[in-house]
A = this chain, B = another copy of it.
């Protein structure tokens, strides 16, 4: 990717989705790029250090420079993060899990990079949202990711109804997530709110040894017993 830029490149570095082997989700050339870096903008320094260690990076841990994203005010706090990039050094952006800038605070950093005409290169790795969509068998031609649904009961039920209706109107797969300790409650709310014919995919522990992906009608979920407590899960819904 030749460039007239004198600025560095911001590499978007995927990390594992939990305790999975690096070689199951990270391509060799991506690993090489990771090995070439010693400065990172990260969501979480501890998990970033663990990932780099698991990647067998040749850079000693003491030589890493980490900039931790201030989630609640990414733009104001993070201008200093770009000094090295503007001086021509390549640096990496890393999420706590999966690919950066999707369902995490990294997008604000990427936006700032574009504003400063810094080259952004996304690297291939695991995304629980994308892997869940692939494996769901639901519509992959039109889909919508909503992030977290509202916590408050009435509001949540109303949102589920609205999402289900939109899914039918637009033939659109609806994806959403929940804080893992509230997963069982969300599944119960879905089973209680949605039509029996609506398809629901529950994709748990994606890319891990315990991965479980089930797509069935709400009427079948009513008869199923499943424990999602504290397990990272993507929910996908399609109503016809």
Bound form: Cα–Cα A147–B112 in Å:
27
A232 adjacent to chain B (CB < 8 Å)? no
Proximity bits, A225-239, B CB within 8 Å = 1, else 0: 000000000000000
Q: When the two chains form their complex, are residues B111 and A137 in contact, meaning their CB atoms are under 8 A apart?
A: yes
Q: Known contacts A124-B24, A140-B102, A141-B107; is A216 also within 8 Å of B134 by CB?
A: no
8 interchain residue pairs of minimum CB distance? A111-B137, A110-B137, A122-B135, A102-B140, A24-B29, A114-B215, A122-B131, A144-B144
* Residue of chain B at shortest CB distance from A133: B102
* Residue of chain B at shortest CB distance from A142: B147
Bound form: Cα–Cα A141–B110 in Å:
14
Q: When the two chains form their complex, are residues B211 and A124 in contact, meaning their CB atoms are under 8 A apart?
A: no
What chain B residues lie within 8 Å of A81 (beta carbons)? none
Bound form: Cα–Cα A129–B129 in Å:
12
Stoichiometry (number of copies): 2
Residues in A lying within 8 Å of B, measured CB to CB = 1, 12, 21, 23-30, 99-104, 106-114, 120-122, 124-127, 129-147, 172, 201, 206-207, 209-211, 213-216
Of B28, B106, B114, B213, which one neighbours A28 at CB under 8 angstroms? B28
Bound form: Cα–Cα A215–B119 in Å:
11
What chain B residues lie within 8 Å of A138 (beta carbons)? 107, 111
CB distance from A159 to the nearest CB of B (A): 12
